[in-house]
Structure 1
Amino acid sequence: MSSETDETGPIDYLVVEFPGSRMTGEGLPLLVDLVDRGIIRILDLVFVRKDQDGTIAGVELSELTGGGHDELAVFEGVSSGLLGRDDIDEVSAVLEPGSSAGIVIYENVWAGPFAAALRRSGGRLVANGRIPVQEVLASLDAAEAGTGA
């Protein structure tokens, strides 16, 4: 196993829907910052739009960068091959008509050395997941209510 592969961090994906195709781009500088700081590495980044009649169309990064999001130009042509047409079709099927979505596949670079150390010591991942923010907030609210705070 090469050292680059050995140090690869976990790979995740996100799909973010924008109802009414209202993408403001507010989060884009933060995405660029995560990459610049070496926290994540973007492997695939695709934007799609679902018209009112259900037609799916890709949205080029240049269409987004033309709206003052020049920082996205660094992602132009980023494609690892992990995100296929079938994945885009699956995402598109759950989008509401008139919405857009961003699909991003990224490596958690920060976790690469940690994951490699665990693998070298014989560790293996047997489960992973994510706790929705809404559940965390509800749990914290319930704990606070129970303590009288």
Structure 2
Amino acid sequence: MTAPIGPVEFLLLGFEGNRFNGAIAPALGELVGNGLVRLLDVAIVIKDADGEAAILEMQELPEDVADAVKALAGEVRGLMSEADLMDVADNLEPQTTVAALLVEHIWATRFADAVRDAGGELLVSERIPGDLVDQARATLTAVAQLTEGN
């Protein structure tokens, strides 16, 4: 029997102008190294200026990028199919590269186990973009400042 898995999230990180260079690897490596996430699968998808799409294999990546990706990759690979990745590519603008990641949120596993052990279940999970939270906080701050002025 395999160990229970925590919540898994599909992340698609876009880089216009095909400027992906692996600079995100150290930050992702820190998350993996600290046991907060596990990288279950990773793929790089590129669409060139002519609109031709390709899924890049490790040997097609610059050496430093390939080394960083290999160091971060978990035991499970191949969860994203070629068909899934080509669907992603179909929606890309020309001259765009994406890093497609499947990330397990290890930090949430213990909490998820506690919820299940207590007879509970997850009913809703929704990611709220940081910029929306920032806007809401700015609005609340502005309202509070107006209220204090009265």
TM-score over 0.5 for the pair:
yes
Secondary structure at the aligned position of 1:114 is classed as helix
| Alignment map for 1:47-86 (pairs within 5 Å) | 47-67=44-64, 70-75=67-72, 79-86=76-83
Alpha-carbon distance in 2 for matches of 1:30, 1:133: 18
Alpha-carbon distance in 1 for matches of 2:74, 2:107: 23
> Aligned in 2, Cα 1:70/1:19: closer, same or farther, shift over 3 Å?
same
Task: Using structure 2 for the length normalisation, give the TM-score.
Answer: 0.85
Residue 91 of structure 1 deviates from its aligned partner by 1.3
For structure 1, which runs of at least 5 residues remain unmatched after alignment?
none
Alpha-carbon distance in 1 for matches of 2:74, 2:48: 24
Contact kept in structure 2, 1:45 and 1:75, CA below 8 Å: no
Match of 2:19 in 1: 22
Q: How many residues align?
A: 146
For structure 2, which runs of at least 5 residues remain unmatched after alignment?
none
Alpha-carbon distance in 2 for matches of 1:17, 1:43: 19
Deviation digits for residues 50-75 of structure 1, max 9, x if unmatched? Answer: 01222111223344452467433314
Deviation digits for residues 61-100 of structure 1, max 9, x if unmatched? Answer: 3444524674333146965343112321221122110110
Alpha-carbon distance in 2 for matches of 1:97, 1:55: 8
Alpha-carbon distance in 2 for matches of 1:142, 1:73: 43
Match of 1:126 in 2: 123
> Aligned in 2, Cα 1:117/1:42: closer, same or farther, shift over 3 Å?
same
Alpha-carbon distance in 2 for matches of 1:58, 1:77: 19
Residue 17 of structure 1 deviates from its aligned partner by 0.8
Alpha-carbon distance in 1 for matches of 2:117, 2:140: 39
Alpha-carbon distance in 1 for matches of 2:65, 2:93: 26
Alpha-carbon distance in 2 for matches of 1:94, 1:88: 10
Paired AA for residue 104 in structure 1: L
> Aligned in 2, Cα 1:75/1:142: closer, same or farther, shift over 3 Å?
same
Moved more, 70-79 or 102-111: 70-79
Match of 1:4 in 2: 3
Pick one of 108, 111, 118 that aligns with 2:108.
Answer: 111
Alpha-carbon distance in 1 for matches of 2:58, 2:74: 9
